[in-house]
Amino acid sequence: MAVVTKRIECKGETLLLTNQRAVFWPQNDMLILSDLHIGKTAHFRKSGVPISSNVLQKDLERLKTIIAYFRPKTILITGDLFHAEFNTDVMVFKTWMQQFKHINLILVKGNHDKHSFELYESLNIEILPHSLKKGPFVFTHNIKTLVDGEFYISGHTHPGVLIKGKGKQRIKLPCYQVTHQQLILPAFSLFTGLNTNIPSNLCANYAFTDLSVFKV
């Protein structure tokens, strides 16, 4: 799979938006992503819904590709690394992560990250309960009240954009949403819905496909 990037400037820093649902911050050798929801497919299978385990494998293959592409020192996850209770998908991820012991993994906890700290410790994950302030950015899972002067990088809402073509043709694409105070990341997991309800006049949408990242 190809990694395509789109360079944007935020608060004097360069950020690279990728078509693989993650952002790279070159100044800090940091890969930033959100909403992996590991364990979601196993959770549905346990409830009797026949969801393929290939969903998780495809997400992990994509993550491995962008790790190899950028070679980050740090991976920062802005919430919802996990989805539900401890299950087989979590064990798959735990085994998969053994190949990246050299990378510093940080999790700003999201509303779905309810596992015990023993699991996070076994994965060598640094846990932050609410937010991380680094450089000009505040990293958090979801922000409801914006503080003047701060710029937030968050996830949670699974942003998407509806693109209309000729006639009744239309397509929904995941996107990054950028305002003067916030960058909202797309959900990294492919097994998520898309929220297209935010009016486009309130933000700049950077949608992406397998071949490009473009401003809508």
pLDDT at 155: 94
pLDDT at 87: 64
pLDDT at 192: 73
- The CATH class for the domain spanning 5-215 reads alpha beta
Q: 143 vs 20, 71, 146, CA distance in Å?
A: 23, 29, 7
Q: 108 vs 68, 78, 154, CA distance in Å?
A: 23, 5, 10
- Low-confidence residues of the chain: pLDDT under 70: 39-53, 83-87, 112-120, 191, 199-201
pLDDT at 46: 52
pLDDT at 41: 54
Strand partners, 127: 107
Residues 6+ apart with CB under 8 A from 3: 18, 19, 20, 65, 66, 69
Q: Is the pTM of this model over 0.85?
A: yes
pLDDT at 181: 94
The token pair at 40 is 């979601």
Question: Which residue ranges make up each domain of the chain?
Answer: 5-215
